[in-house]
Structure 1
Amino acid sequence: MQNQELFSSIPMRTWRWLGVNGAALPAGLDVAEVQKIHVKAGEKKEAVQIYREGGHAEIEAHVEAGGTLSLVKVQLVPEGEDHADDVKVCVEEGGAFSYTIFEVGANELVSKLSVELAGKDAAADIAAFYFADKKRKFDFNYLVRQRGEHTDANMQVKGALMDEAQKVFRGTLDFIAGSAGSVGRENEDVIVLSPGVRNRSVPLMLSGEGDVDGHHAVSIGKMDEAKLFYLMSRGLDLAEARRLVVEADLFPVLARISDEALKEEIAASIEGRIGDAD
């Protein structure tokens, strides 16, 4: 049961029957815990947020001119609990925001990201990996608004689904009038491990400015049979081969963080579950 009010919605609505226009908060997650991050002009700051229990969290970050914020989010909430989070970031002239995301827990997840590239030459680099199995429901809504001239946005999302998991991903690049010379790239790669999953991907590009360079794509598919045949011909069983293929997407995202123990925990949290796919 969900609350009636929408927590997250797509900037440009589509057919209602698709079920991708918005998402409500899971029941009982009304009150958000707010964390504020302020990066001063020219300053470099790193932050790691790890979620090990259900709840509703909110992060508000402001990166002043020339500042750099590197944020890592790791969601390891137990299977029987729900989680929601809302990350809002404003980046001023010449500032940079790096966001690395791992979503591998929770029963029901609703995650929202909004980035404003407000100043000239502001940049955002977003890399995410998700893994959903059993009857988990994941809902993502990532939005980058490019307002300043010559801004740069890069959104790369990878994930795997198995059993009866459901996932909605909305990824939007919005070039606002006045963002001349800006570049935006958005891509999602989804690996389907079971026939019973439901995947919905909604890449969206909006533009009120003519002089921009935007690219978006989605790749959805079952395990590459050629890769599986090659790996199994080298003595691996099916479960091991599946793990290697999924890890090929996971490891480049893991490489963005330096905490070796945390890397091992993330990998271990999904390793055994992949072997149980149908």
Structure 2
Amino acid sequence: MKIEEELNNINPIPVRTWNWLGVNDISIKEGLQDHRANSIKEGLQDHRAKYPQVLPGQKDNRFARFAAMSSKVGESRLWSSISYEGIGREASVQVLTRYNTGFYLETKPGEKVTDPVRISYSMEEGIPLIDNNAILVREGSEATIIVDYASMDSRKGFHNGLTRIYCEKDTTLTYVVIQKLSEESTHLGACAAKLEENAKVNYVLVELGAKYGVTNVQTDLLGKQSEAHMHTVYLGDRDRMIDMNYRINHYGRETKSGIEVKGILLDRCDKIFKGTIDFRKGAVKAVGEEEEYVVLLSEEVRNRSVPILLCTEEDVSGQHAASAGKIDENKLFYLMARGFPEAEAKRLIIEAAIRPMIDRIPEESIQRAVYEEVRRKLRNE
């Protein structure tokens, strides 16, 4: 596989618009990095075992299977049937053929697992992290998965990951992703999900790190009354580039979707949000809505939002909105008049805006870590 020095025209929007808007796709000055290519270049051994997942030390009886990803699983008919290019074809091919870590989780039919499963990936020593993950939620079961990406130090790193999800009938999955990579790292995160009748997936996505943060999430609501709800919070600082591309496709009758995004931008951050709800023919009485709100803390940030509704079915209901603004001066005055310093008053207002999203994380320890990271960035540390 040829490794390019730059990634061009990646994460494309479903329906192209005027080129001068700069939202159809993006290009970044970093290319795909490969652990095997580095091995040849530097004379190192294959790093396939460098990123072992944090999996249970013994068999977890709550699940039918919970293990490291293998080619036997990843290339099975079910997962091969999920056609999805994600951020870009080259990035997806790299994950599927050259991953150096990943997990496969399959629930038991009818089993409702109440305690979250946490999987942590910690980047270190500049070795690329390429993870291939799959989650199969069997009929009538429920589960919560938390995936945490972090850097052990401030060195430059590279992450390219793909998670494929399949939810059978009458299931509920909560899928949480926390991204806190170092400020010089590149993060490419993709996810594709398919839902059968009366299945529900709740996404909680937290984007706090990486110089280039590029994400793509596609959800297909295939079965009647299936649902997908996305809750995202992001903070962009310094010279970071953030590109989020979400798409929910309604195929089944009476399906529901929601995309809720809240963000904070400061310094010279460049951010693009692309949210698409697509009502396909046959999605009778489907309902979808999306909304983004971003707080702008600098005159130098670049904020672009593209909420899109597509429709080939008449009997549907869709809403979309995007808004941006500075901190409410009345709220700021109110708090400062009661003795709060300006910096503390701003922090309280910002945290109040994003709290509903962070509180959806099902572990308090992770919530506290996210709040601390937000506060650190607001202090420009």
Give the % identical residues. 35
Native 8 Å contact 1:109 1:137 kept in 2? yes
* Match in the other structure for 1:132: 236
Q: Distance in 2 between matches of 1:177 and 1:218?
A: 26
Runs of 4+ in structure 1 off by over 3 angstroms are none
* Match in the other structure for 2:326: 222
Q: Which amino acid aligns with 1:78?
A: S
Q: Which amino acid aligns with 2:169?
A: A
Q: TM-score, normalised by structure 2?
A: 0.70
Native 8 Å contact 1:242 1:275 kept in 2? no
* Match in the other structure for 2:283: 179
Q: Which amino acid aligns with 1:27?
A: G
Offset from partner CA, 1:171-219 (integer Å, 9 cap, x none) = 0000001001000010000100011100000000000001001000011
Q: Which runs of 5+ in 1 are unaligned?
A: none
* Match in the other structure for 1:9: 12
Q: TM-score, normalised by structure 1?
A: 0.96
Q: Which runs of 5+ in 2 are unaligned?
A: 34-90, 96-130, 152-157
Q: Distance in 1 between matches of 2:374 and 2:342?
A: 16
Native 8 Å contact 1:191 1:220 kept in 2? yes
Native 8 Å contact 1:46 1:71 kept in 2? yes
Offset from partner CA, 1:150-182 (integer Å, 9 cap, x none) = 000011000000000110000000000100100
Count of equivalent residues: 276
Offset from partner CA, 1:126-147 (integer Å, 9 cap, x none) = 1000001011110000000011
Offset from partner CA, 1:60-81 (integer Å, 9 cap, x none) = 0000111111100000101111
Aligned-pair CA distance for 1:24: 4.3
SS in 2 for 1:189: strand
SS in 2 for 1:261: helix
Superposed CA RMSD: 1.4
- Find 2:135's aligned residue among 31, 37, 44: 37
Bigger radius of gyration among the two? 2
SS in 2 for 1:52: strand
Native 8 Å contact 1:67 1:96 kept in 2? yes
> Does the C-alpha gap of structure 1 residues 34 and 24 become closer, same or farther in structure 2, counting only changes over 3 Å?
farther
More relative contact order, 1 or 2 (CA 8 Å, 6+ apart): 1
Name the structure where strand makes up a greater proportion of residues. 1
Aligned-pair CA distance for 1:43: 1.0
Q: Which amino acid aligns with 1:153?
A: S
* Match in the other structure for 1:46: 144
Aligned-pair CA distance for 1:276: 4.5
SS in 2 for 1:9: coil
Confirm whether residue 264 of structure 1 aligns to residue 362 of structure 2: no
**252-261 or 197-206: which moved more?**
252-261
Aligned-pair CA distance for 1:23: 2.7
